[in-house]
């Protein structure tokens, strides 16, 4: 895999955020020429510290995927684009739907158009989400399960997948979509509580606070470690068999929310788990258990997870303990 990405020019939109920056570190290690386009907007996961250590080895452009010119400026001669820039809070997508449309739909179209017009041989790897399934109709979910989003974020991620499919079929642009489960690990932002349960719990635990779990806390989720996700995304880039495909990228292991909270408290040695009622603004978008069977990615890309939740959490918690100031903990 090293040889294939070595010396390749790779654009990462949203590259100062959680997944994009981890990807950038890995690609720089493998000898790729990395360009990051990131708006560095407040409330998202962008953090200068995420690219510490590689800042001088990459090209960084502050710019917005909603602005077509910003995208055109960075696509010339690229071999691939990891399109990670997004609005990714489900509740925020419901309170300000047009903001979500602008980043997640218009932004994705801008990337596809810029590649079509200026670098048509480049491959696009799109970060989709488990949110496309809405309330899961089966357990475990696969790529063939019914997609039926129940929030604007999920609907727009599904639109992003469909846009990729249109450009693949009509303009012959290579695209691969990954439906990511709950990704966790170093370099995520822990400040915005609407940004994912695992981040919220780690922050509360490190601050020796209450980890409030919505009753009864038995809802199942799939938590996948960032290093495994990066491996999957890169395999998607280097494999021709991935072209035009959609993959579930998940650990394949289910954990309840209360189990997760207890594990975090046990590992960090701080905080306390308490069960509370659901907040009102989440009532309409509660989705029940979400479990996955990541068989297609195993078969097509020879990918399977290598990090167990406990080990991944230990590495993650140690990282934030050592970098409290940088992540405002
Ligand atoms: N983290 C997860 O668990 C998860 C799960 C499913 C899907 N995803 C998807 O993976 C991708 C990356 O997520 P993440 O966790 O790294 O999020 P993140 O918020 O840490 O990173 C997103 C980055 O995109 C940038 N960005 C936002 N709007 C932009 C715009 N208009 N123009 C340019 N840059 C912009 C932000 O500044 C940020 O640096 C997203 O597409 C997200 O929907 C993530």
Atom of ligand 1 nearest to the CA of 128: 7
Contact 18, 189 (CB under 8 A): yes
- pLDDT reported for residue 285: 57
Contact 75, 61 (CB under 8 A): no
Question: pLDDT tens for residues 84-111?
Answer: 999 998 888 999 999 999 999 999 999 9
Sorted by where each begins, the domain ranges of the chain are 2-186+223-250+293-305
Q: Cβ(155) to ligand 1 under 6 A?
A: no
- pLDDT reported for residue 43: 80
Going by the DSSP 8-state scheme, the letter that residue 188 receives in this structure is: -
- Outline where DSSP puts E strands in 53-122: 59-62, 80-83
- pLDDT reported for residue 326: 95
What's the gap in Å between 327 CA and the centre of ligand 1? 16
Q: How far apart are CA 125 and CA 136, in angstroms?
A: 25
The C-alpha torsion from 231 through 234 and 240 to 244, rounded to 10°, is 100
Percent of the chain surpassing pLDDT 70: 97
With a CB cutoff of 8 Å and minimum separation 6, the contacts of 292 are 130, 140, 141, 142, 181, 222, 248, 250, 251, 252
Q: Cβ(161) to ligand 1 under 6 A?
A: no
Q: What is the model's pTM? A: 0.97
Percent of the chain surpassing pLDDT 90: 89
Q: Cβ(198) to ligand 1 under 6 A?
A: no
Atom of ligand 1 nearest to the CA of 157: 43
What's the gap in Å between 129 CA and the centre of ligand 1? 11
Contact 133, 145 (CB under 8 A): yes
Of 290, 318, 319, nearest in space to 220 by CA: 290
Low-confidence ranges of the chain (pLDDT < 70): 1-2, 193-194, 281-285
- pLDDT reported for residue 69: 98
CATH 3.40.50.1170, domain 2-186+223-250+293-305, yes or no? no
What's the gap in Å between 137 CA and the centre of ligand 1? 27
**Which residue's CA is the nearest one to ligand 1's atom 10?**
127
What's the gap in Å between 234 CA and the centre of ligand 1? 17
Which CA distances in Å does 324 have to 49, 60, 186, 317? 12, 25, 12, 10
Q: How many CB atoms lie within 10 A of CB 276?
A: 11
Contact 251, 224 (CB under 8 A): yes
- pLDDT reported for residue 283: 63
**Which residue's CA is the nearest one to ligand 1's atom 11?**
84
Q: Cβ(46) to ligand 1 under 6 A?
A: yes
Contact 223, 201 (CB under 8 A): no
Q: Cβ(114) to ligand 1 under 6 A?
A: no
**H helix or E strand, kind and range, residue 175:** strand 175-180
Of 111, 41, 120, 61, nearest in space to 82 by CA: 111
Q: Cβ(15) to ligand 1 under 6 A?
A: no
Q: Cβ(312) to ligand 1 under 6 A?
A: no
- pLDDT reported for residue 1: 62
Atom of ligand 1 nearest to the CA of 85: 24
What's the gap in Å between 86 CA and the centre of ligand 1? 4
């Amino acid at each position: 895999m090293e040889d294939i990405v070595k010396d390749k020019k790779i654009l990462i939109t949203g590259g100062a955020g959680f997944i994009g920056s981890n990807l950038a570190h890995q690609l720089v290690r493998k000898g790729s020429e990395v360009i990051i386009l990131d708006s560095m907007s407040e409330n998202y996961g962008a953090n200068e510290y995420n690219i510490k250590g590689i800042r001088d080895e990459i090209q960084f452009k502050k710019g917005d995927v909603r602005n077509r010119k910003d995208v055109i400026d960075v696509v010339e001669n690229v071999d691939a684009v990891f399109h990670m820039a997004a609005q990714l809070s489900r509740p925020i997508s419901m309170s300000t739907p047009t903001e979500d449309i602008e980043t997640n739909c218009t932004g994705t179209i801008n990337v596809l158009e810029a590649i079509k017009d200026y670098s048509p041989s480049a491959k696009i790897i799109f970060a989709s989400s488990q949110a496309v399934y809405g309330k899961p109709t089966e357990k475990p979910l696969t790529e063939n399960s019914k997609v039926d989003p129940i929030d604007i974020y999920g609907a727009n991620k599904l639109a992003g997948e469909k846009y990729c499919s249109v450009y693949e079929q009509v303009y012959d642009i290579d695209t691969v979509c990954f439906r990511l489960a709950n990704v966790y690990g170093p370099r995520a932002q822990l400040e915005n509580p609407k940004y994912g349960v695992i981040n919220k719990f780690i922050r509360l635990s490190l601050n020796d606070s209450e980890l409030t779990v919505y009753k009864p806390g038995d809802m199942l989720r799939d938590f996948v470690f960032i290093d495994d996700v990066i491996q999957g995304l890169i395999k998607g880039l280097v494999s021709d068999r991935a072209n035009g495909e959609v993959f579930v990228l998940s650990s394949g292991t289910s954990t309840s929310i209360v189990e997760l909270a207890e594990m975090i408290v046990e590992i960090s040695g701080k905080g306390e788990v308490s069960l509370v009622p659901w907040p009102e603004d989440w009532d309409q978008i509660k989705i029940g258990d979400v479990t996955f069977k990541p068989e297609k990615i195993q078969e097509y890309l020879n990918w399977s997870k290598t990090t167990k939740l406990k080990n991944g959490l230990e590495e993650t918690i140690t990282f934030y303990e050592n970098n409290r100031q940088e992540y405002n903990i």
